[in-house]
């Protein structure tokens, strides 16, 4: 008994209890389920973009109507983030994710069964609300199982789910559309998402204590609060200037990210005059660079900047601005130069994206408020995604593509400035513990 007590006392409060085989297995289970969960959300998110042309041709749905449906989806997704984060903190990640995935599947199935514009629009608005549960719910589910010491590299690896999910979603929807028709591109993913939602409902563990294990970090950290012993409300968090500056910074990052995701193939074909096949393949280095960037920047933040992750985030975003200008000036110099520069852009964009939306949400929110914090930051970022297509279309048509890239560079400077302000607001004074 004395030796056991001694061993227990020797464990540092912030040291992961990773020596336990049971904990390791639990960490693998949670990581795998949440990774699969968020990747699967993309199967009922990206299928509309794949079938747009078919709906336009066969259902006589206008381009404006399709654009309006997509905009309504993005708006409901952005607004839903704020509510879903708070709901996840209240009912738990497992219930939130099961509800969101099954609800998204139902809305997707309804879209596939519809034949007129109004049901299409209503179904995809509902889908946007249900999709909003994915990020905050999964980030919250991950938080109790990994210490701040390893959180950057773990979340960097984990956030490869949306690149992988996006690639799989496009491939699956294209296959179903080609072989079985556009409705199958909705029915098939809906069935898959229901299955994954049931797996989450049955097997996701919400905290180590549920399996008789001690917490990874008994005193998680959150933003300064006047209620150290209580979970902050959504309204309380919205009053914190630091979350507004972080959210506005993520607004800028997500605006650039979605602009490139939606318009990069168009830019490559129309402006740089690559073939349709070359434009498609050249979009891949952007995603691949993003996967590497998420992992590397996450690891560096753990290794050197764990107590102040913004110290690596700010210079990375400034380098992103430089890479965007370099791409605008040199992207037409050749296929391999274009691919190399796009890889750099993806690396420097997705790395800080992962830190802001995932790792720092967990650092700031702690166990009590991760869902709310992730919902606020990602919700404000998603507003940037709503406006991305309108901004790209307007600026490129009025002032040209060169002006657009210079505009993106200006956004990175503003984003870096907001993050410097965030650093002052978060780190001075130091955050208080939540028990």
Question: Are residues 99 and 181 both part of a single domain?
Answer: yes
* Average pLDDT for the chain: 83
**Across the chain, which distance is largest between two alpha carbons, in Å?**
78
pLDDT at residue 428 in the model: 52
Predicted confidence (pLDDT) at residue 200 exceeds the cutoff of 90: yes
Domain shared by 242 and 134, yes or no: no
Query: What's the rounded Cα separation, in Å, for the pair 44 and 46?
Result: 6
Per-residue confidence band for 162, with pLDDT thresholds at 50, 70 and 90? confident
Q: Any idea what the CATH number is for the domain that residue 118 is in?
A: 1.20.1250.20
Q: How many degrees, rounded to 5, is the angle at CA 355 between CA 336 and CA 285?
A: 15
Q: Show which of 211, 246, 271 is a domain's final residue.
A: 211
Residues 71 and 91 in one domain: yes
Q: Residue 7, preceding bond cis, omega within 30 degrees?
A: no
pLDDT at position 15: 44
DSSP 357: I
CB 260 within 8 A of CB 267: no
Q: Which two three-digit tokens encode residue 214? A: 């001690």
pLDDT value of residue 105:
97
Question: What's the structural domain count of the chain?
Answer: 2
Same domain membership, residue 230 and residue 194: no
Determine the pLDDT at residue 306: 73
Q: Name, of 3-12, 230-239, 272-281, 325-334, the range with top average pLDDT.
A: 325-334
* Residue 162 sits in the same domain as residue 307: no
Task: Work out the average pLDDT over 14-18.
Answer: 44
Are both 261 and 283 inside the same structural domain? yes
Mean pLDDT calculated for residue range 114-135: 92
Bridge partner residues of 221 (DSSP): 433
The CA distances from residue 385 to 94, 214, 308, 381, in Å, are: 27, 40, 27, 7
Q: Which residue has the higher pLDDT, 210 or 134?
A: 134
Same domain, 196 and 257: no
- Per-residue pLDDT tens over the stretch 343-390: 999 999 999 988 888 888 877 877 778 788 888 888 888 888 888 877
Cα 189 from chain centroid (whole Å): 20
């Amino acid at each position: 008994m004395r030796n056991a007590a001694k061993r227990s006392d020797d464990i540092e409060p912030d040291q992961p209890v990773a020596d336990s085989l049971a904990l390791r297995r639990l960490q693998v289970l949670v990581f795998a389920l949440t990774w699969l969960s968020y990747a699967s959300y993309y199967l009922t998110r990206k299928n509309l973009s794949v079938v747009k042309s078919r709906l336009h041709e066969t259902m006589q749905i206008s381009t404006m109507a399709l654009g309006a449906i997509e905009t309504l989806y993005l708006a409901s997704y952005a607004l839903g983030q704020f509510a879903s984060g708070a709901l996840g903190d209240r009912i738990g990640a497992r219930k939130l994710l099961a509800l969101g995935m099954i609800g998204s599947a139902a809305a997707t199935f309804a879209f596939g069964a519809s034949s007129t514009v109004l049901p299409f629009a209503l179904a995809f608005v509902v889908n946007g609300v249900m999709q909003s549960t994915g990020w905050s719910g999964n980030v919250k589910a991950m938080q109790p199982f990994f210490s701040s010491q390893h959180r950057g590299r773990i979340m960097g690896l984990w956030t490869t789910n949306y690149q992988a999910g996006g690639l799989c979603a496009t491939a699956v929807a294209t296959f179903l559309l080609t072989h079985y028709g556009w409705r199958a591109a909705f029915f098939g993913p809906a069935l898959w998402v229901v299955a994954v939602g049931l797996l989450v409902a049955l097997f996701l563990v919400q905290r180590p204590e549920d399996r008789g294990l001690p917490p990874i970090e008994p005193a998680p950290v959150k933003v300064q609060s006047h209620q150290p012993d209580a979970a902050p409300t959504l309204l309380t968090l919205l009053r914190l200037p630091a979350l507004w500056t972080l959210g506005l910074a993520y607004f800028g990052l997500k605006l650039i990210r979605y602009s490139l995701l939606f318009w990069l193939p168009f830019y490559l074909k129309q402006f740089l005059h690559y073939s349709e096949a070359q434009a498609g393949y050249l979009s891949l280095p952007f995603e691949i660079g993003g996967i590497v960037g998420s992992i590397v920047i996450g690891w560096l933040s753990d290794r050197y900047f764990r107590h102040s992750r913004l110290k690596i985030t700010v210079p990375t975003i400034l380098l992103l601005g430089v890479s965007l200008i370099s791409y605008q000036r040199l992207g037409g110099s050749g296929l391999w130069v274009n691919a190399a520069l796009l890889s750099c852009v993806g690396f420097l964009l997705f790395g800080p994206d992962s830190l802001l939306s995932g790792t720092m949400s967990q650092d700031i929110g702690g166990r009590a408020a991760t869902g709310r914090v992730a919902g606020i930051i990602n919700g404000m970022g998603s507003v940037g995604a709503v406006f991305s297509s309108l901004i790209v279309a307007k600026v490129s048509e009025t002032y040209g593509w060169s002006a657009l890239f210079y505009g993106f560079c200006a956004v990175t400077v503003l984003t870096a400035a907001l993050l410097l302000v965030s650093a002052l607001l978060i780190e001075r004074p130091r955050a208080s513990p939540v028990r």
